[in-house]
Amino acid sequence: MTCGCARNTPTDRVKAATIEMTGRHPCYSYDAHHKYARMHLPVAPRCNISCNYCNRKFDCVNESRPGVTSEVLTPEAARDKFLRVRNKVPNLSVVGIAGPGDALANWGSTRRSIELIKEAGPEVIFCLSTNGLVLPDYAREIVELGIKHVTVTVNSLDTVTGSRIYRHVNYRGKVYRGAAGAEILLRNQQKGIKYLSRNGVLVKVNIVMVKDVNDERIPKVVRRVKELGAFITNIMPLVPAPGSVFQDYAPTDAAELDLMRDHCGQDMRQMRHCKQCRADAIGLLSDDRSLEFSTAEKPERRISLGL
């Protein structure tokens, strides 16, 4: 079974070896998510933007959503955990850094973690997730580090919509609110995606679908990131997080989500099997084993994420 994706092909700048890797990446390949496991390393606690659908202050073992983790690891602890997981999860193919904050807002820890794990497991596929605010600053280093898969969350193209989704951005030591912050974020997202795509990196673009906020504009987002060279888009439902600005918003209707994916699938390939994983997820997408490998003192606790 294929993912029902649209018929675009990767850029000619992507090497055959990267395409082969993608066949073992459960977030980029529908077929792979039944066979290959991934682990997310929670080494990136700080975030540089404030999204109205996000609340990263609390951890709960029963929650499965981005921004949630039972512990924050140092790069050395992340390497040690990788070794433990690899010994017990033989189908592990991907190591990703998806928070609980932003991978690039914690670039020192992110880079060091990847370097240590590359020494221990050179066969591993690495990927990063980012909001893209500082992507132009680190895109060249990402390419030089050999990372071939990067996910960027792009929820809008215009500053009016962006200001309804993002409360503020913290860019180079200054806080920008409303349309001013959205403008910086949206510009840098597009610039970074373009650079990565032109330099052999497969970019997945996540889009959170929020009813009456950005839903009608999502097709334009998809067409634009395709122009920039993105490989696949992942239109995700809003999961109202307790304590977030959008906590009382209705979850995205499943039928409307499928229709949006079908519509956008006419322009480019769509991911349909995303589980909106925790920042410390381990195992198959459908079988999270993170608790099995947790070293946290308590299974449920408040954690400091450097907000």
All structural domains of the chain, each given as residue ranges with its CATH number in brackets, are 16-293 (3.20.20.70)
- Among 28-32, 45-49, 268-272, top mean pLDDT goes to 45-49
Q: What is the DSSP string of 197-250?
A: HHTT-EEEEEEEE-TTTTGGGHHHHHHHHHHHT-SEEEEEE----TTSTTTTSP
Strands 174-177 and 287-288 come out as: unpaired
Per-residue pLDDT band for 90 (boundaries 50, 70, 90) equals confident
User: Both tokens of residue 143?
Assistant: 């390419």
- Mean pLDDT, the chain, whole residue set: 82
Q: What is the DSSP string of 154-170?
A: ---SSHHHHHHHEEEEE
CB contact burial 64-91 (16+ within 10 A = b; e otherwise): ebbbbbbbbbebebbbebbeebbeebee
Q: What is the pLDDT of residues 7-29, one digit of tens each?
A: 444 445 556 666 665 655 666 65
Q: What is the pLDDT of residues 97-142, one digit of tens each?
A: 988 889 999 999 999 999 999 998 888 889 999 999 999 999 999 9
- The rounded distance, in Å, linking the Cα atoms of 56 and 302 is 10
User: How many CA atoms, within 13 angstroms, populate the side-chain half-sphere of residue 225?
Assistant: 35
Backbone angles phi, psi at 192, to 5 degrees: -65, -45
User: How many CA atoms, within 13 angstroms, populate the side-chain half-sphere of residue 122?
Assistant: 1
Query: What crossing angle do the helices spanning 75-88 and 107-120 adopt, rounded to 10°?
Result: 40
Higher pLDDT, 60 or 229: 229
- The rounded distance, in Å, linking the Cα atoms of 23 and 31 is 8
For residue 215, the tally of other CB atoms under 10 A from its CB is 18
User: Both tokens of residue 163?
Assistant: 């200001």
What average pLDDT score do residues 168-179 get?
95
Per-residue pLDDT band for 286 (boundaries 50, 70, 90) equals low
Helix (H, G, I), strand (E, B) or coil at 271: coil
- The rounded distance, in Å, linking the Cα atoms of 113 and 97 is 9
pLDDT of 229 strictly over 70: yes
- pTM comes to 0.82
pLDDT of 263 strictly over 70: yes
